[in-house]
Chain A
Amino acid sequence: MKEYTYMPEVRRVFRCTVPDENIRQVFLVDGILQEEENEKNGITLKRGPEEKGLYMRVQGDHFAETIQIISVRSEDLPRPLEFTNEWELDPGAGIQIIVCDHTLNEHLYRTSRFSKISLGENARLDILFMQNEHIRSRYWLDLIANLGQGAQLDCHVLSLYGGIINNKLRAVMNHPGAVCRMDGLYLADGEQHIQYDIAVDHNAPDCYSRQLFKGILDNHSRGSFNGAIKVAQGAQKTEAYQANHNLLLNNEAKVTTKPQLEIYADDVKCSHGASIGRLDEMGLFYLRSRGISLDQAKMLQQLAFVEDVLAGIRTQAIRERLEKMVESRLRGEFKKCSNCTMHCC
């Protein structure tokens, strides 16, 4: 296991076990980038506006490479914090990014993270947000992505833990041939609130978008999903799909879902759908009849439910790691080590 000792102020909790040794790690502590402005192989990294957040510019195709941004809050006297992370990909550029958001103690942290993504012509970005804070944290993610002609964006959001999590994601396709896939998974229990507001704007012809968001809610948790696809006049040959599915584990958990589709063009393929359901009784009996305990049967069904969201994660090693984390989250093990995603199990 690789240890990162160059950051004494980041506690040893980050013995990160993301399996690929070659992943470059970048630290943001309380919104401040922990490295000097640098440029390596066409990847420029520096602080964002007002010295907070980060700005990353990618030139050239690095799609086989992954950069992990570990963003933690650790102050003892926390104030609301707001910063912006910006990714700019030149035409033809490519990169994979994992953003891991954590809190290092149980103070009441409020963090607003603005994220701007701009993809040049034929640029490819695969970005994954891992949200794992604690029950008293307030987490806002406000992301806007502009896709150039033929650009490709894969955006995954995993909301594992947080008091209130609010994700606002917007993708704008002003140029033809762009592809945008957005997936999300939210797991809530206790008194958690998780909200997703998704907007996908098809303003140019021949673009493709697909959204798959799934949630599992237990105890008194609340979930809310608002998803809007807007196909402008002239955005012909658009393909746009949206699905939101929710699993409620008891009678107290509650979720509202509002899929929306507005179409002003006449030659498009679009669909949207939403569902709210419970575990399948017959399926549970089937599993139990093979000797699997009720708890384990419920777990297998939940993992089966989220399988297609996780299947969208490109790198196998990271996907397997996240599958384990989701499993331990569903087993309720995260409350014990809620400070850090990467150090458990």
Chain B
Amino acid sequence: MLSIKDLCVSIGEKEILRGINLEIKPGETHAIMGPNGSGKSTLASVLAGRETFTVTGGSATFMGKELFSLTPEERARMGFFLGFQYPVEIPGLTIVNFMKAAINEQRKYKNLPALTSGEFLKMMREKMAFVEMDPSFVGRGVNVGFSGGEKKRNEIFQMAMLEPTLAILDETDSGLDVDALRVVAQGVNKLKTKENAFVVITHYQRLLDYIVPDIVHVLYKGQIIKTAGKDLAVEVETKGYDHLINEQ
């Protein structure tokens, strides 16, 4: 589904990712862990198409296409989803208008007719209930005045609406209380199928108690220094990153 080979990424003169190799197959859940500044968010952003980063080497294919030749919107329509670490506030744009535009673009790409207002609102209601989001949020500005937890819940809501093939959740757990964490995790677990894949970027093992990964990667200074099963997350939690870094 997603295959990354020797990916090198810079911002300005600064090299952030230095040869990433990653293979994600349908049905898998990956966790990417690592200390601050290791390049986790950069990896997520560059895969989603953020233009502030420059790909200086390597390649990535997504659903058989060269990922870096696609615009962010093309990637999204093909089923790529990024759950933002810091969801953006857009005053004046309601969630309903935002999602209507997104869903209709996606349907157009799939050669499906646009949803009627009734169909769309029904879908909105179902998905909002799914992430336990207050229906009054529909008419509010995107992320405007939302608490940290509400913003992350909104990301999961959007994910539920768009039903992506590959979702990367960038520190969706940071700043969440236990209840919000449970909702986020439940959202992911319920959306998980044999056909899609999830990548969870996190600092802590806590989220991984709820979303059990098949494969855990530890990223350090722009390289994946260790890949193993779910026990690696426990190892990180108990022993810290230093011990893995010293193993190098």
Contact = CB atoms under 8 A, between A and B. Distances in A.
Interface string B131-167: 0000000000100000000000000001000100000
B231 to A, nearest CB: 33
Given A291-B106, A294-B73, A301 B88 contact: no
Contact of B72 (A285, A305, A307, A308): A285
Contacts of A292: 73, 76, 101-102, 105
A323 to B, nearest CB: 11
Interface in A288-345: 288-294, 296-297, 300-301, 303-308
B72 A288 contact: yes
Interface residues of A, number: 23
Given A285-B51, A300-B97, A303-B93, A293 B73 contact: yes
Nearest to B107: A291
Contact of A296 (B82, B92, B105): B105
Contacts of A282: 88
A291 B77 CA distance: 5
A285 B97 CA distance: 17
B48 interface: yes
Interface in A240-296: 280, 282-283, 285-294, 296
A291 B91 contact: no
Contacts of B101: 287, 292, 296, 300
B34 interface: no
Contacts of A286: 84, 87-88, 90
Contacts of B93: 300-301, 303-304, 307
Contacts of B109: 291
B105 A304 contact: no
Nearest to A307: B92
User: Chain B CB within 10 Å — which of A283, A289, A303 has the most?
Assistant: A289
Contact of A304 (B87, B91, B106): B91
A283 B144 CA distance: 12
Nearest to B101: A292
Given A290-B98, A291-B102, A300-B97, A285 B50 contact: yes
A308 B92 contact: yes
Interface of A: 280, 282-283, 285-294, 296-297, 300-301, 303-308
Interface of B: 48-51, 71-73, 75-77, 81-82, 84, 87-88, 90-93, 97-98, 101-102, 105-106, 109, 141, 158, 162
